[in-house]
Every structure is written in C-alpha cells, then in structure tokens.
Structure 1
Amino acid sequence: MLYEALEAQARERLPQVVFDYFAGGSGEESTLADNTAAWARLRLRPRVLRDVSSVDTTTELLGSTLSSPVLVAPTAFHSLAHPDAELATAQGTREAGSLLVLSSRSSRRIEDVASHAGPWWFQVYVFRDRGLTRALVQRAAAAGARALVLTADTPYVGRKRRNRGDTSLPLSDEDFLANLEGLTHRALAEQAPDVTFADISRLSEDSGLPVLVKGVLRADDALECLHHGASGLIVSNHGGRQLDGALATADALPEIVSATEDRAPVLVDGGVRSGRDVLRALALGARAVLLGRPVLWGLATGGAAGVRQVLETLREDTAHTLALAGLSRLSAVGPDVLAPPRAP
C-alpha cells in the first residue's frame, strides 16, 4: 500500500522528533486511530453492467476546477520535512491539478509559496495579536488566495502523546517567523482562546474572500457557522491532534451534510488513505476530501515530485474505485453506494 510504504520511508529519513511531530495525535491517540478505522467500517454496494470505459474525476469547488476531489490539507512547517518546504508542496500540488490549503504556520513566505502554486486557499488561526491575523489574511488575498479556511478547533493546542520528553523541533527562527513580520513576542502568535462565530464575517470583511470553517463536528455548530457567513465547512478533528476521544470524521459527516442541506459545500479530512475512502466520503455527501500526513510523507521522501505522486496515485485509485463500483463520474455518487450498517 502506497501510504504505508511512504510512512515507513519517511520514518527512516526524518529525525524521530520530527516524524513524531507529524505522525502523532493527542492523548492516547484513540481519535487518530479511529479516523482511519471509521472509513473502513463503511461497506460499498457496487453497481454492475455500467459503461465505465471512461471515468471522470474532475470537480469544481468554489470556482476552481480540479483534477480530483482530493485537496492538500493545511499542515505546519514543511521545512521540517524537506529543504524546499512549502515551495515544493505547492509545486507538486499544482502539477497534480489539485488545490493547496496553505497553513498560517508555513515556513515559507505567503508570497513565495503563491508563486509556485496553482489554486490555493489560506488557512487562518486567529492569533492573540488580532492585527497580525488581519495583516496575514490581507497579504494572502493580495497574493492570490481564493478563500480562507478558519481553523476553529484550536483555542489551545492539544497535548500530544509523543514527544513528552524532548519536544524541541529543529526549527529555525527564520522558519518559525516566515510570515510573522513585526512580531514582538512569540506568545502573540499563539491561537486566541476567545475566537467566536463573529470572527467568520470579520475575516471575510478583512480579506474580501469567502471563508470556510474547519474543525466542525456537530450539526448545530455547522448551522451557526453558515448563519454567520461561512461559505463552506470542513468536517475535521484536526487529524486526531486536539480533543482525544472526539468522534471520527466519517461518523460526524452525515449529520452535518443532512443539517446543512446543500447550503454550502461540506468537505472532510482525517484518515483518508485510498480511493475507497474518497468514494465513501463522497457517498456520505462530502464535496471533497483533504489529505494531510500522506502529503508530508511524499514531501519528505521526494520533494515536489513526491507530493505530485501521492496526489496522482490517489486520483488514479479513486478513478479505479469508481469504475469497480459502476460509476463513471463523481456526480453519479450517492448514498446508495453504501450498505446499511451491520447490526450490533
């Protein structure tokens, strides 16, 4: 399996503290494990005798036409994985025809990454220094970001199971401060614990961009986000890195899709590792999925080419899975593709 092989290769190449930083989850890592297991619990009901001689995986999302419904999730400090850092990630994503969500904690300047990217969105933490947040989103808009992604599940950073002893990362001040011009104290770049739904419209006003909210696991929160102007939702538990014991994203997704009734696109991340998982997510009503750790492993093992290979391999696996399920296009995917849950 590509993911398992890539992870093993990345483990060999990266310092242990860096691998653990990327791979680890919070608490006892129960949510981290359940993210992957939850997709596998969903069984597929393939159709037969359909013409699948040609399978189309292209999709359109907030005005961007993409080669597949697989996007690159925001992850921090890519310089820890490869010397070319986010520049390589952006290039590989562009070459694969996908979309990059660039982290606020990028180790390369927004403008430099934008010059290597295809379509991209900018992930936002609302920092304790609100002026810093405003300046970042305005820079992102000026550099060509097509949307903002507000990470909403991180008022404080979850305590990780790994690295409890030595938590120091080989991260230079230059990498840490790449996008924090004028910062007088590192503490001001910590996430603000008083972020509310009102920040959604505030970010949109500051940037002139649509805002998606990432970290939603409940229908009532999803509806409140839309009420306050969100243009999309990302069902996410931060890759199992925040509240351990939170439900898997595959389990949270149906409730949110049902409640929002196509008022805005719903995306999902967490544990997606195969074309089967992509099909399952689409069948549950997601418009697209986001990929985090597999992209980091591709970056660590092959730079831009490694990122491109991860995305292209998953696109090809998605097309192959669609064909085996008797589906020739994404619009044909519906809830009937999934079998009813097994009786307890």
Structure 2
Amino acid sequence: MNRSAEPATAADFEQGAAAILSAEVWDFIAGGSGAETTIAANRTALDSVFLVPRMLRDVSTCSTRSTLLGRPVEMPVAAAPVAYQRLVHPDGELATARATAAAGVPFVAATLSSVPIEQITAAGGRVWFQLYWLRDESATLDLVRRAEDAGCEAIMLTVDVPWMGRRLRDIRNGFALPAHVRAANIVTTSAAHERTGQGSAVAAHTSQEFSPALTWSALDRLRQHTRLPLVVKGLLAPEDGAQAVQHGVDAIVVSNHGGRQLDGAVASIDALPEIVDAVHGRCEVLLDSGVRSGTDVLRALALGASGVLLGRPLIWGLAVGGEPGATRVLELLRAELRDAMGLAACENVAAARRLQTFRRLAAHGVRSGSEPRPMLVQPSVIPG
C-alpha cells in the first residue's frame, strides 16, 4: 500500500475498496436485506448520538486500554466475524487475524471463514470462534471441539440467521462463490458455487446448512459442551438479553447483522441501552452494526457497551491493502478513539462509560410536524 496516499478514514478505505472489487463482490460485502432500511438506520441512529464532553480534567495519559471477556485489550474492539474474506484478498482471514493480533484486539473467526480455524489461530493473536448452529448438531459440536483444540478463547453463537435474509443485490446478481473461495470449516455441498439463475447461491447454501429450529435449549447444550466463555450475537430485545443471562452467557452482542437479516429491524445502537439495563452488569454487552469510527466506539461506551465489533471497515482495509490495509484501519480507529476520549475529558474507558449523551429524537420516529427535541441520556449504571 502506498503510504504517501494513505486513506485517513474508514470512508476513504470504503471508496478504495469499491473501486477495486468487482461489482457483485462489492454488493455482497456492502449490501443488506430488503430495501436496506436497517443499514441506513444504523448510521442515522449512531449519528443521532451526541456526546456531552467534560472539561478541565487531566488527559495527558489518556488510554484506550480495556478488557474484553476478562482479558486485556489495547482498545475495546474486536474484529467482527465476516465470512469468505478471500473474496476481497488472497490472504483473506489470515491477513485480518495478523492485523488484529498486532493491534492487540481479538479476531472473531467465522464458521463460514474461507480459511480453516486451525490456520487462523496459528497466525497468532487472540481468536474467538463464531458458531452457526447447523442442521447436523454433531457437526456443530465438532466445530466447537475444533475451535477449542485450535486455541480459541471464546465461542460466539450467532442466533439471528435461521436462514439468510433476502439480500436483493445478491439475488439480482445471482451471486455465487468463485471456485477458489469456500467454507473451509465445514464439510459442505457445492451449492454456494452453483449459479442457477434463481437467486443467490450463497443464500441457498446457508438454507441447506443452517438450522431454523435453534432455540434457547441449544445454549444449555452448548454450555455443557464447552468450558470456553459463551457469547450470544444477534439480540435486540431486552427480554432476550435477560433470558440470555439466565442461560449463563458471558457476553451479548447487540446486533442486527449489519442490516443483512430482518430489514426494518431496530438500529443496534438504539437497542443497546435497554439491553444494558436488562442484564444489569451480569454479563458484558458489545455493540455490532454500523461502527465506522473511534467516535462511534465512544458513543457505544457512553451508552453502556463493554466494547464493539468492527466489521465492514476491516474488509475495506483488507481489500485495499491486505494485512497493512487492515492494520491501518485499526490504527486509525485507535487514534480516533483516543482523540475523541481526550476531547471529552475521558482519561480511560471507565470515564468514557460515565459520559452523558443527547439523542436527537427526529432520527427515532418523531411524527411529521412535531418539533424534534434532543433528549439527555444519563450514563448507564453498570454494577461492579
């Protein structure tokens, strides 16, 4: 990557990736379900969160360091699980995993990774394994065993994909995986590679593989099968957050799958505070979907999150510059977070969680003709 023309924001990497990737691969990465209402809502909602900075506090040693799942991290961020990363760069998940290792943050390896989990953990760094519940439960639990044996530090069960949402870009493109990209962790059919003229081959493949019968009882069986920390990804309702705690999860990821599942689902940042309140400090709560900057990370922290997952921006960096590109995205994010924290007089992440925020109600369904007013949100009180 030419450092003299180096992108300065995630948006710069987005533009670069769009220019490099084929149209159908770009649509697969960038697109969402339906009319992509929820993709837009994620950004609108994040941009409606305004921080109330404090002043006259010593930030000369402002630090982004924190912990996730009880382990130290250089910033409260983990790489979100993103499938088939070899679509955008030959090194795929190996490059992204090395970049996160260098940045001191966890990498979440996807079930549908294009590189086997054993190779990803061998690249070094902290790795969590994202699990889809397959129709073959024995194959699902075998993935958990493989993740443990490979040295993964947590299991993240994604619960919002009984089948893939109607991603219209992929349907219109008849999108199928190229021959050199495959789901490296599972024994599978060739359905994801077969163009039939009847929509997305990737969606057809996931319908064959994923179980639509996943229920809360699976969490109990999963807990019995592994001693690793258990994370549940894809919750938006506070009632589900409370129930997840009852089933012994160690963390919840508040996520609408980046707008790729139910179109019209609530923006993740809007759902975050109520889930934080519902779990009442009994487990960690992370935010996923729409995070693009260090300011977004600070917004999530101020609304009670333990940290965030970063998805598409890392893929943009990977597409533009391989491992150095993904590394630069993480460097920028940390610099932006430290800058935002310092300007808000937050000397550390704990102070960031005490910030107040204003919410612009116009972004949250205020009726036409009414006068939108900002709403002051007190910082969440997180026991312990």
TM-score where L is the length of structure 2: 0.86
Matched residue type, 2:9: L
Name the CA distance, whole Å, in 2 between partners of 1:197 and 1:222: 12
Q: Secondary structure at the match of 1:164?
A: helix
Per the alignment, residue 23 of structure 1 pairs with 30
In the TM superposition, what are the counterparts of 1:171-250 in structure 2 within 5 Å? 171-172=178-179, 175-181=181-187, 183=188, 190-250=209-269
Which deviates more from structure 2 when the two are superposed, residues 332-341 or residues 295-304? 332-341
- Give how far 1:205 is off: 2.2
> Is 1:307 equivalent to 2:330 in the alignment?
no
Match of 2:63 among 33, 56, 68: 56
Q: Deviations over 1:172-191 (max 9, x none)?
A: 2x63241124x468668621
> Is 1:131 equivalent to 2:138 in the alignment?
yes
Does structure 1 conserve the Cα–Cα contact (< 8 Å) formed by 2:53 and 2:355?
no
Name the CA distance, whole Å, in 2 between partners of 1:328 and 1:136: 41
Name the CA distance, whole Å, in 1 between partners of 2:173 and 2:358: 46
Per the alignment, residue 272 of structure 1 pairs with 291
TM-score where L is the length of structure 1: 0.95
Name the CA distance, whole Å, in 2 between partners of 1:117 and 1:81: 21
Q: Secondary structure at the match of 1:175?
A: coil
Does structure 2 conserve the Cα–Cα contact (< 8 Å) formed by 1:17 and 1:169?
no
Matched residue type, 1:179: N
Gapped runs of 5+ residues in structure 1?
Answer: none
Per the alignment, residue 334 of structure 1 pairs with 353
Name the CA distance, whole Å, in 2 between partners of 1:20 and 1:117: 31
Match of 2:303 among 272, 284, 293: 284
Name the CA distance, whole Å, in 1 between partners of 2:121 and 2:241: 30
Name the CA distance, whole Å, in 2 between partners of 1:171 and 1:137: 27
Does structure 2 conserve the Cα–Cα contact (< 8 Å) formed by 1:70 and 1:311?
no
- Give how far 1:5 is off: 1.2
Name the CA distance, whole Å, in 1 between partners of 2:100 and 2:295: 21
- Give how far 1:338 is off: 1.1
Per the alignment, residue 33 of structure 1 pairs with 40
Name the CA distance, whole Å, in 1 between partners of 2:128 and 2:56: 40
Does structure 1 conserve the Cα–Cα contact (< 8 Å) formed by 2:63 and 2:349?
yes
Q: Deviations over 1:223-264 (max 9, x none)?
A: 111111211100000000000000101100010001110000
Does structure 2 conserve the Cα–Cα contact (< 8 Å) formed by 1:282 and 1:333?
yes
Q: Deviations over 1:207-233 (max 9, x none)?
A: 321211100001111111111121110
Question: Structure 1 vs Structure 2: percent identity of aligned residues?
Answer: 44
Q: Secondary structure at the match of 1:339?
A: strand
Q: 1:307 to 1:189 in 2, by over 3 A?
A: farther
Does structure 2 conserve the Cα–Cα contact (< 8 Å) formed by 1:233 and 1:267?
yes
Per the alignment, residue 12 of structure 2 pairs with 5
> Is 1:260 equivalent to 2:266 in the alignment?
no
Q: 1:315 to 1:130 in 2, by over 3 A?
A: same
Name the CA distance, whole Å, in 2 between partners of 1:287 and 1:225: 16
Name the CA distance, whole Å, in 1 between partners of 2:83 and 2:63: 32
Structure with the bigger RCO (C-alpha within 8 Å, sep 6+) is 1
> Is 1:71 equivalent to 2:90 in the alignment?
no
Per the alignment, residue 325 of structure 1 pairs with 344
Q: Secondary structure at the match of 2:335?
A: helix
Per the alignment, residue 202 of structure 2 pairs with none
Moved over 3 A (4+): 183-189, 340-344
- CA RMSD in angstroms, aligned pairs only: 1.6
- Give how far 1:340 is off: 5.6
Q: Which has the larger radius of gyration?
A: 2
Name the CA distance, whole Å, in 2 between partners of 1:150 and 1:329: 30
> Is 1:153 equivalent to 2:168 in the alignment?
no
Matched residue type, 1:8: Q
Name the CA distance, whole Å, in 2 between partners of 1:91 and 1:14: 22
Q: 1:177 to 1:256 in 2, by over 3 A?
A: closer
